[in-house]
Each structure stands twice: as structure tokens, then as C-alpha cells.
Structure 1
């Protein structure tokens, strides 16, 4: 079998339509190669309107290789194929083709203006009704292509001739609106017909104008208007282009959406619907000229990642009859999304859907939602054929839905599929999986996945249910390694990191959350914070490590450098960051419910440790990029390390804060002298045992403690920590019925009541960062070079587990490991894709080099888990060079 390259992937786009890169990088995977095959060169064929060009490059690279030809122009389409050459310069067959299309790359290409209703501009009103906007237009003969470029102040859904355009939701998402407004490109050729056509859009408040922030929040933070910005371009076979853009010629009418808000839900009156409003010939007294607003076209940018979509539908598993007489649907899973209903009843009847994550005393418990109403209301039109409805411009985090006013039997409606939970999040590609012999650990991993899905909705949020849902930088900083294994987050997070830099203050301060809520100066002033601001240096390196994208490092280097330079100024000559407000080891389980920052570990120890780590990260970034600043930041990192040891490490090797997080930071950030590491590891293990193997770390320590134990030879203690069942622990949550990861270790108390703290979410991903350790250590699959160009297989069985497996769809292809204990042998099966080398490190055995292929390896393993002599064998498809 010969090597076969797959169709090229364009940057990190799943569908390269309307991309914003004029010279996009290309990647491909190779399958079918014989053992020992290596790529020595590649050839890219680019077909454009100006002709076909071929580019031959002598290189073994196949991930994010440079665009080979002239840069793309706006709207330009190109078709690409690739073939690869072996060591003897024998070419493979050509890959399947990839068609890409550029979006509007220059501000001058935009002629559209934002338009909306005139009645909803009063910023003093909190309940302004949104608008529908529309326009009719002619399509001539010979149409070959039509594209709609769309965005909004607020949220939009477009329609053409009565048909929905696209399947995305909550578009254009939440960005730093004054500097960055995302637009999406839609192929609408099949929506159109010769003659009269109509285009229109629904509008909703979203993050732009709707209520944001806790303690009541604020409205009109980015503007007081709701406006659609659309540019429909028609291309004909004779080369001419007609443009139908939003301007004064459009019309507006009040929407049947009476009110919509992310926190509070949506109210919809079906009696107010305008039949055929997005079809030709719609008439009525409700239509008035639009109000035309302004938008700097230089702020319009194509997305780097996929949009939000519905990715799954759930059916209720039970109807709970509550003590107060309500009916509550249990979907069996805490998730983020909306409920779709099909209903038939009299005009004016109201169906109310009220959501919650948990029950208490048999009723939905809404206190953790704080000021979020989280309620949708549908007023029936009374159609004899029935009605179908789903909210458009809101989302909820929930497992339970209290249903009031249902005109009929709720059980029968569920059986008929008339009530469905629709799961929404950024439509990321799943690329990582894990499983082991312990079903509770598997449930924990499932909870981590569901928690990520619920919180990756356009931005990496902290929670999807209460009056918050913002992009806390510390949460994603600790969770990015786990996220990057489970899903292809590179495009999404690369775009979000650009907004981090846009929000960064001139002095280098990185906000606690991005985008920043503009009214934050009234209750959350921007100030530097360790672990949160360090997202600027940690997350770009994580994405580079996992996806092999050095371009992210190049784009984010100045942001990272400015953050560390700020810390250098704050610390001063003694290199200790020991002043200012800090969140520290946030939500340490020993902290009081109403003071989550009051952790066992000194918050300034945390700050100085992160200062040292971030300085080192900037040095690493500089070395990768070939920048001369590497030496400066390496020296700074060493100076901070020495200051940390002098301040926080006692002569006997104990930390000034004798707490788990302190030792985890010192060990994982390599702050201790080599001769003190073993003692620190022993003390960390002692602290874990003294706590009864219960968790004693918060957001900062939790992602580090398991690795710190593993690195210092305390692997069984790390397993004890993972497998503990008493509160606080990961499995305590599982045994309490959790289906996502909680914000607090004890969000639900052992007696079944909810923690009294005001921050008590049942869907936060930060404490699920342990999954990265599970992937790398329990299963034993880790990247050893950026993009998994080299893989380290190093499973560390323990804790009584008898098997584990992990697989990851790397930029080069599928990497997998599957181990099991069979009698007195540890059997390990590995899979390595073409273009990747690997090392297999089994307990008690020498390292084995692997190349692409599948292989099986065995080592002797006693009942106590102690490795003995080793031997290796291979499956028929394995590369002989592996042994």
C-alpha cells in the first residue's frame, strides 16, 4: 500500500468558506504508508481563476506549511490538492481536493450599514422589543454564485425566501465589539430563484445590548441599538456582481420576540408573527423604514474557529411531580442549550419553561442562578395544525425544566418527541477520548467533557447558568491542556487570545475576564492577578505544544512580554510579587463559602511562583521564534526563582505555606533546587495522606498536584487522591450524581442541600483540569514535540486499575494507547501515525523507539504492580523499526 495524503486542511477551519487569511497555512494527514516510509517532499497544486500552479517543496513538514503562492484576494476561490514524495522521490497519488474561499479581506469591500427598528433605540428602556428587517430584490438569469456576509449589533438569524440561512446560533458571538466584530459567510446560491426574492433577519440583544454582569448587571454596554449588517452578493455567468446591502432601503417591523436576554430567557408571542415576512410580497402596516447606524468596517473580521451550533438532542428521562404540584422534566444530564417544543392549544395560552441545574426538597432550586430569571415563555397562536418553537437568542445551563401551562398530557408529549433538549456550544471537532477499568473515573471524565461543552459557547466561559457567563482568564489558563486534548480548540482560542490582547491595558495588565464588561470600573476594576493574567503566557504555549502552531506564539508574543514586564515592575528589585489584590488558590475547599480567596497557600507565594513561570514561558516563546529577548527573560526567570526560594522555602525544605498547592507550584514550575525536590514530594504526599486523600487545593493547585506527586515518585498517592470518594474529592461529586464538574468541591453538601455560598455553580470546568493528567499518566499518551510530531507513551498503572486507553486525533493523525493487565503481564498496544515518531517508556523497561504503525508490547507485572523483566512483540501491522 502506498502513502495517501488526505485533502488539505486550511488553517484551523473545518469549512474554509469566507476565511480571513489571505495566505492560509496548509496541513494534511497521511495514511497507508508502508513501515519505514518517510516524506521527503511535497507538491501543492493550486487551481485559481488565473490558472493552475504547482509548487514542489523539499520538506518533511505536513502541518501548517506556508501558503505557496500569491496571496488570495477578497472573495477568491481556490482548489488545492497535495501529493507527497518518499525518500526515493517517488510521488504518491494526489489527495482529494479542498476548495477554499476568502471572505471580504479589506474594509473597503464593505458597503453594508447596520440597520434596525426606529422604536427600540431608547436606552432608558429595559424591555425594548427587537426588530425584523427585510428587503426585496431581483435576481436575473445566469446566477452562478451568491454569498451573504452577515453580522449584527446584538444577535441575528437571517432568512431568504422564507428559509433559514445557515445553522449557526448566537452569531456573531461575543467579541471586543468596539475593536472586533465577527462576520460569517454563507453560501446562499440555492436559496435564490430568478425574479423577485426577499432577504431578512431576526434581531436579539445578546451580549451587545442585553444585561451583563452580576449584582443586577448593566444594559446597553456596547450600544443601545439592535442592528443587522448584511451584504448579499450575486455573481452571474457574465462576470457581473450585484450587491444587496443593508441601507436605508430596508424595512423594519416589531418582532414576535417580546423580550430576549441571555440571563433571563425569551418571551415569544406567536400571535404577533408576520406570516411570510421573509418572502416576496409581504405587505402590512407594521413595516416602516429602518434606522441606519454606523460601524467601522475595519473592525469586521472573519472567524478563526467554528460558530455555535446545536450538536445533540436530549429527551427527558422522567417527569418529576413536585411537592408544590409542578411538573419538572429531568433530562438526566446537566447541559447548555434550550428546549424545543411542539404544542397545540388555544390562542393566548402560555407555556412557561423555567430551568435549573438541581432539585432541592423536590423542587427546582434556583438560588444558584442568582439574578438570572432563566425562564422562557411561549404564547400560543392557536393554530389547529400545532406550533413549534425554540428560543433564538438565549441559552441556559440546566438539567431540570419546570413546565407550566402545558395544554395536554406532558408524558404523552415526551413520548411523541414534542419536548426536546437541544445542546448548544461552539461546534468544535472532538479529537480526544479516554477510558479505564473504573466506571466512576469514566463518569468523572464524561463529566469533564460535558462541562467543557457547556462552557465553550463562543468564548471559554466560567459557567452557563447564572448571571455571569464571562471569559475568566484563569479558568481557561488551567484547563487549556485538557481542552486541547479533547477538542480542536486551536482556532477558537487563538481568536479569543487576540481579544485578550485587545483588552490588555497599556501597562500590560491582562483583565480577569475577556471580553471585559465595559461597566466593570463600577464594580470590578482591572488590576493584575496571578494565574488569571498568566493566560497570556501559558495558553499560547499550550496551543503550540498541542497543535504545532508557532504562528500563535508570534501573534501573542508582545502580549505575553508586556504582561511579564508589568510583573517585573510590580515586583521591583527583590523580584517578589507580594503586593496588590490576588485571588490566590481560588476556592480552596478550606476557604469560607463567602471568601473563596482565603486559601491555605499564601496568595503572594502563588503570585511569585507564577511570575517565575511566566518569565520562563516568555523565554521559551522567544527561543522558538528566534528572538533575542530569550536571554533576558531566562535570566529574569532565574532571578525570580531564587527570590521565591529565599522567601518561601525554609532551610529544611518545607514551604512557608505548608499546603498542597505551595508544594505543587514549587515542583511543577521547577522552582526548587534539585536536591530539595524529593523532600518536597515526600511532604506533599504526607499532606495528602494527612487529609485522608481528600482534595485540599483550589483552581491553582488542582491542575498541578497530581503531576507534582507523579514527578517525585509518589504515583500511588496521586491515584489515592484521584480515587478518594469522601468530600472533597472528584469522585464525591460523581457519587452525588453530578453529570458535570462543579465550581466548588462541595457545591452539593453530603445532606443533599446546596452549598450556601453565592458562587455555587454545578457546571464549571476548572477543577476538571485533572483530565490532562489522566490522559498523560493514567493512559500514558503525551506530546513530546509540538503538534505530537513526537509522542511519549508512558503509562503508569496504579490505584487498582486493570486497564486504560486513550486516543487523540493529532494534526498528523490518530495516536492511541491501550494497556491492560493480563495475569502477570502488562500488555500495551500503541498506534503512531505517519510523520510521527514515539518513545514507549514502560515501568522497569528500557525506552523503545517507535515509528508509524501499530504495535503490541508486554512486560512482566506482579500482582503488586511491580514491573519485572521485559519482552516485546509486534502486531502484523507494526513497523519493524520499532524494536
Structure 2
């Protein structure tokens, strides 16, 4: 690992290391293995190596550093060759975290590169290695940072100015890159532009995305083009990025004056839909496009219906996943955060596995999560965790129920979607440590998290749950109920994972623990009348979904659940952990009509409200923009946060009606169980699973429903019929109940169905469209 002696530290000009070398001949199989501390981009004989972005990626750098391997014979020649490796701060040492306590030099204060050129894959013949004979110098990249952006001075030609220094480095932490590095997606053209009162041009690309703009300019040497990024316009239609907080999120390009000049940033990315361009000096912008980037580049699912707002919601979720699946599953791609929040990832993991092939992406991230787990089993709020090596300003940044549960939930979803038993076995010890940690917070089955940030076992609870009008706030779930619920959910699932992994003793112990928690939950949080202690939507949704309500109290609890929804006028009263459970729980208790009303209502808080307000990605907050266009408090307001997009899992598994079978995972057996929402007819969806394409579509004509579905070629199907579906015929044969062993291929189910009566309220119906 060699450090460029030209480097002056974080926030200073980027540097390169380089070496000239000679080859007698090019064999045709040469491969370059390469990694770096910081970010790198490599060139051989002036041509770029590979097309990956932001390499070597983002991991828990002190324990795991990825390296990439590239075939490079097409770049080499017999005789003299030259390799240059450009280096920049990246996640290693540019700003991490936010506000008044940013962290710099998080995983180290020195950028460096390590590389070797081999004659062929697996060959022991080494043609070139990094060592202290390499040279170094400064780059045209004058400053770069993940949050900052990039300044590029095209007048500067890289030249050797110093040598290199070998750093102490343990090569045992090097791992082959475990997933697809970020790549460019199809560029987005400008859909409209205008000039503001100060002469700056604002460009709208029509889609919020994570990536970079690419510009083409002409003009005189020294002229400058500055680009600022923003997600939304303010109430008056003006460019706005106050929600970026301390992230400058800008690029500056200084012209060389050599004809037509093309530029896109090398070592950063931004989250944006709009850019504001300022030109200083003699320069003219001749072209600008938005270039989205992502680690998940192939779309694996679709959903369409009769409601264009619903279809756009699905697309918004896809775009939010793309923008936030850049190396790690981040919360947002724009402000001074962009962190791998564990709570967001665990609620979205199932949806993520439908929309993209996320198996290797999550495997890599979960391995970092295990590294970042604390000795007592606490799981960090974010991963990779900048606070683990820098705890001073963020003490106790770990241990929240609902967030740390990513340690088991993400592998569990990988098991369901890909049949990945290896990741279960690999992470089971970490899962068990987490469950035992949660139990230890209060030394028993009822978990009572402390309120203070940084205290052991602090919980975010049902994060960003809407509170309703200030005159009479809506009830919200208490941290103790939320934490106890999640302890039960975790103990139950990790017990099952232990069984699958062959650890019978652990399975039995955690099953016993879950039984204790369930009994204690009923005693502590369920009244004799069947009302839950906090009487809120999240409590009922999670308790019903995970069978925590005793049979003799279920009917009464259903009534209380309905009342909790009535108190919100049929609007959502859940936050990050309650929202994914809300609609599945209502369907489970037979309230399909109420689930449909809540989903389809278009006022705030609601999924379709943000679509009506022009969203092209999922918002962090239900009320991120008020109905009059007012921007919510910019101190925590992202317009590209995928968590609430987890509802798309319900659209596919319930409305389209297909899901994996936990007893035969990886879609080896596909369960088909459609939930009919007549307002959405016709519905059509698909998912390209590991076993092949799954497809489903249905139409409702009065009481007659036609459901066509496709079992993948390498799997089998199981049809589950609701008792309310009458006169059911599968491929022309009468059926009822559950039909197993359905062969691969296309099938048609027909039945009659009476749509549930909608719940009435004063004024317009809950799902009425706003004119």
C-alpha cells in the first residue's frame, strides 16, 4: 500500500501514484488487482481501467477492504507502458456525519493505493506491483468529498512532483469485491429550464436520482462553471436545497480553454432532480444531462394498475432504491448523512429483493454489520459505522430495537428470496448476540429503553410516526411496547433461523425466550377488554401480524384497531416500523376494504399524497411538503428515502398475490394468494426470481374476477383461496381452500367475489380524489 507523498491531507487536492514499466510482450490474459485507501480511478496508457465508480467501495475499512480485478491486456502494449492511479478522500476521510459534530479522517488520514499486474487470472507471474519506486503528484481534482462535491481545474496537467511511501498494511483484510460496484444508468435529459433573477440557469431533469451531472462546455481558460444540486423547488418555484444542511453538494469546473470540454465528477455523487448553474467568465454550457448511478442496475419487478398514482408510487420506490443502493443501503443520497441506516434497511429488505437482485449487495453489507456489532451484541444505527472508531461526539450510537434487527431481518429476506442458507449460518452467532442484548436492556421479557440518546438500549421507536393536530395529538406506540414487540419478533425468527442452520439448542432456548416475551406482553400491554396499552395503529398492526393477541381478545382488539384508524380519518398513523406492518395486518384480520381505503386515500399522511405533490422518489416524512407547497423544517427532510416504499412489498405479495414460501424458499414454491382491491383493476405485475419469471394479473368485472398467473419454469406453485372467493375454477376445474403442486407455466383462476363495504365517515369518502 503506497501513499502519494504529494498528498497534503483531507480536503486538499487529490493525488496520483504512477509507474512506467516495460513488457516484452502482451499475452492476452493480463489482469490488474487493485484497491485503495480512499477512492481510486486507474488508467493504463491514458485509458481508463474498467467502468466501475467509487471504487474500491465502502466497507468497514479497518477490517474489510474490497479489491477489484480487471482484465487489461487490451490496454497494454509490448514495450513501454504507464499506469496512473488517481486517489481522493472518499468515504475514508472526507466528512461523515452532520451538524456541529462532523467526523473527518474517519477510517484513516492517508490515501494510498495497492495494485499488482499479473500475467493471467490465477497466475503466479507478477508483472508489476506497487512499491516505493512509484511516483506521485497532484491532480486537476482540487477538492472532493462525498458530501462536498468536487472542484476540477482542467488547466492543471498531472505531473510528477514527489515519490511514494509504503504504509503498514495488513493484506489479510483485503477481500474480492463482493457485489456489483456502482455503475452509470441511462442519462436523463433536461425536461425544462429557466433563468432566475440573478442570471443563473436552473435545469429540471424530471426525476430525483443519485448520481452526477455531465456537462459539455466551451470557452476561455480560467472561466468557471458552478453547479448546485437540489431535490425540490420552494413554495415560490425557486431552486431550493436548504435540506442538504452542511453538505455543499456542488461541483465546480474551471475550463482549460481547449475547445469542447467534457466533465463529470470523478469521486463523488449527489442526490438531486434540479441543478442551478452559475457561469463566471467567458464560457458557454452546450450540453448537460443527469447521469444516475447505482449498484443495482437491473429492474426485477413491475406493478401497474388502473390508478396512475399507485403506478407512480411503485416507480418512485424503484428510483429511491437505485439512488440509495450506492455501495451500501443508505437512508438518503443528498444531505450530510448518506449513511447505511439499519432501520431503513430492515423494513425495506423484502421490497428491495423484489425490485432488484440484491443478494450480493446485502451479503456484503451484512458482513460489515457483523464487523460493526459491539462486543455486547448491540448493533449500530448505521453501517459502515463512522462512530465505532470515533465515539467521542456520538457515544452509544448503537443498540436500538427495530434498527439493530437488520442483523437478522436482512439475512432472513435473503433466505426467503434466494434460498440463501449460507448467510443464515454465517450470521447466526451475531443474530443471537443481538437478541440477548435486547433482553439484557431491562434484564427480562419487557424491554424498557432509556429515553436519552446514547444511553444503553436507546430506541428510536416508531420513527417519524405522524402525531396529528397539536390541539389533540394522536396516540403513538411507547418505546417499551415497540421494543418488547421487536424482541418477540426477533427471538421467534432467530429461533427459526437456528433450526434451519441445525443449531437445535439455540432454537429451543430462543423459542422459550419468545414464549416468555409473548406472555409478558399480554400481561403488560393488553387490557382485559382487548385494548392495547397505547391504543395506536402500530401497536395493533405489529401485534396482529405476529400473533401476539390471545384468541379470546382478538375480536375486541380488531374493534380497537378499527377505532384507531377512525380517529385519524382513515389516514396513516404509523412510522418506520409500523408502516410496513399496517396493510398486511389489516388484510390478515379480514379488513381488506379498510386496508384499501388507507392505501388509496390521497391526503397527508398517505402514500399517494406525496405522488400528488409531484414526488418522483419516496419522501422521508409524510409531510415533507405541506399542501400549500411550504417546505417542512429543513433540519431533517429528505425527498429520497426508501423506507415508506416498503408498501410495494404489499402490492406484490397481496394485491398481485405472489410471495416466497418460507418452507421452500428462493421461490422454489411460489404462494399465490391475491387480495382484490376493485379500484385498482386491472392489475398486472411480475418478478424475475431465481427460479424464473413469476407473473400475475387480474381484472374485476362486478363480482367476477379473472386471475391469471405464471409459475416459474424451475419452481412450483401453491394457490391459497380466500373463503370469500366463490365458485372458483382453476384451469377449468373447481377448486377450494389450498391447491398445492401447481406445475410451471401459465394458469387461470376465475371466481366470484363481493367487494367489502367501505367504511363510511362524514364528508367525502376516504378514497375520494381531490379535484
Instruction: With the length of structure 2 as denominator, give the TM-score of the two structures.
Output: 0.91
Distance in 2, Cα, partners of 1:614 & 1:848: 31
Residue aligning to 1:566: 437
Q: Is residue 615 of structure 2 the alignment partner of residue 746 of structure 1?
A: no
Q: Is residue 259 of structure 2 the alignment partner of residue 368 of structure 1?
A: no
Shift in CA distance, 565/861, structure 1 to aligned 2, threshold 3 Å? closer
Decide whether the 8 Å contact of 1:132 with 1:255 is kept in 2: yes
Distance in 2, Cα, partners of 1:236 & 1:403: 46
Deviating more after overlay: 338-347 vs 679-688 = 679-688
Residue aligning to 1:858: 750
Distance in 2, Cα, partners of 1:348 & 1:779: 57
Distance in 2, Cα, partners of 1:766 & 1:663: 20
Decide whether the 8 Å contact of 1:587 with 1:599 is kept in 2: no
Partner SS state of residue 259, structure 1? strand
Residue aligning to 1:535: 406
Residue aligning to 1:619: 495
Q: Is residue 204 of structure 2 the alignment partner of residue 307 of structure 1?
A: no
What aligned pairs does 1:334-353 form with structure 2 within 5 A after superposition? 334-353=208-227
Distance in 2, Cα, partners of 1:760 & 1:612: 32
Decide whether the 8 Å contact of 2:667 with 2:690 is kept in 1: yes
Q: Is residue 370 of structure 2 the alignment partner of residue 495 of structure 1?
A: no
* Deviation of the 1:578 alpha carbon: 4.6
Residue aligning to 2:762: none
Distance in 2, Cα, partners of 1:402 & 1:807: 39
Shift in CA distance, 570/523, structure 1 to aligned 2, threshold 3 Å? closer
* Deviation of the 1:789 alpha carbon: 1.0
Decide whether the 8 Å contact of 1:134 with 1:250 is kept in 2: yes
* Deviation of the 1:664 alpha carbon: 0.9
Partner SS state of residue 145, structure 1? coil
Q: State the Cα deviation string for residues 642-672 of structure 1 (Å, max 9, x = none).
A: 1111111111101000100011111112211
Q: Is residue 443 of structure 2 the alignment partner of residue 604 of structure 1?
A: no
What aligned pairs does 1:677-692 form with structure 2 within 5 A after superposition? 677-692=554-569
Decide whether the 8 Å contact of 1:782 with 1:791 is kept in 2: yes
Residue aligning to 1:218: 103
Residue aligning to 2:384: 515
Residue aligning to 1:630: 507
Q: State the Cα deviation string for residues 701-732 of structure 1 (Å, max 9, x = none).
A: 10100011000000111111111111111111
Decide whether the 8 Å contact of 1:311 with 1:427 is kept in 2: no
Distance in 2, Cα, partners of 1:488 & 1:701: 26
Shift in CA distance, 741/654, structure 1 to aligned 2, threshold 3 Å? same
Deviating more after overlay: 708-717 vs 427-436 = 427-436
Shift in CA distance, 426/581, structure 1 to aligned 2, threshold 3 Å? same
Q: State the Cα deviation string for residues 390-444 of structure 1 (Å, max 9, x = none).
A: 111011000010011077897x83xxxx211100111343222211111110011
Residue aligning to 1:825: 704
Partner SS state of residue 185, structure 2? strand
Aligned counterpart for 1:246 among listed residues 130, 136, 143: 130
Shift in CA distance, 476/809, structure 1 to aligned 2, threshold 3 Å? same
Q: Is residue 292 of structure 2 the alignment partner of residue 423 of structure 1?
A: yes
Distance in 1, Cα, partners of 2:240 & 2:627: 16
Aligned counterpart for 1:810 among listed residues 667, 672, 689: 689
Distance in 2, Cα, partners of 1:665 & 1:757: 31
Residue aligning to 2:549: 672
Partner SS state of residue 31, structure 2? strand
Aligned counterpart for 1:321 among listed residues 182, 190, 195: 195
Partner SS state of residue 314, structure 1? coil
Gaps of 5+ in 2: 451-456, 729-735, 759-771
* Deviation of the 1:450 alpha carbon: 0.7
* Deviation of the 1:792 alpha carbon: 1.2
* Deviation of the 1:116 alpha carbon: 3.0
Partner SS state of residue 183, structure 1? strand
Residue aligning to 1:87: none
Q: Is residue 301 of structure 2 the alignment partner of residue 432 of structure 1?
A: yes
Aligned counterpart for 1:715 among listed residues 592, 603, 608: 592
Distance in 1, Cα, partners of 2:351 & 2:445: 35
Q: Is residue 415 of structure 2 the alignment partner of residue 544 of structure 1?
A: yes
Q: Is residue 606 of structure 2 the alignment partner of residue 729 of structure 1?
A: yes
Distance in 2, Cα, partners of 1:209 & 1:193: 36
Partner SS state of residue 522, structure 1? coil
Distance in 1, Cα, partners of 2:188 & 2:2: 37
Q: State the Cα deviation string for residues 130-168 of structure 1 (Å, max 9, x = none).
A: 112111111123613111111110000111111111110
Partner SS state of residue 496, structure 1? helix
Q: Is residue 38 of structure 2 the alignment partner of residue 154 of structure 1?
A: yes
Deviating more after overlay: 470-479 vs 134-143 = 134-143
Aligned counterpart for 1:199 among listed residues 80, 83, 89: 83
Shift in CA distance, 727/575, structure 1 to aligned 2, threshold 3 Å? closer
Distance in 2, Cα, partners of 1:439 & 1:461: 28
Partner SS state of residue 144, structure 1? coil
Deviating more after overlay: 800-809 vs 598-607 = 598-607
Shift in CA distance, 142/512, structure 1 to aligned 2, threshold 3 Å? closer
Aligned counterpart for 2:718 among listed residues 811, 817, 839: 839
Could you say what the CA RMSD is over the residues aligned between the two structures, in angstroms? 2.2
* Deviation of the 1:682 alpha carbon: 3.1
Decide whether the 8 Å contact of 2:11 with 2:94 is kept in 1: no
Aligned counterpart for 1:776 among listed residues 653, 657, 663: 653
Q: State the Cα deviation string for residues 291-324 of structure 1 (Å, max 9, x = none).
A: 2223210000012211111122100101123244
Partner SS state of residue 193, structure 2? strand
* Deviation of the 1:467 alpha carbon: 0.3
Aligned length: 730
Decide whether the 8 Å contact of 2:296 with 2:357 is kept in 1: no
Q: Is residue 35 of structure 2 the alignment partner of residue 164 of structure 1?
A: no
Instruction: With the length of structure 1 as denominator, give the TM-score of the two structures.
Output: 0.80
Decide whether the 8 Å contact of 2:475 with 2:534 is kept in 1: no
Q: Is residue 275 of structure 2 the alignment partner of residue 401 of structure 1?
A: yes
Decide whether the 8 Å contact of 2:296 with 2:358 is kept in 1: no
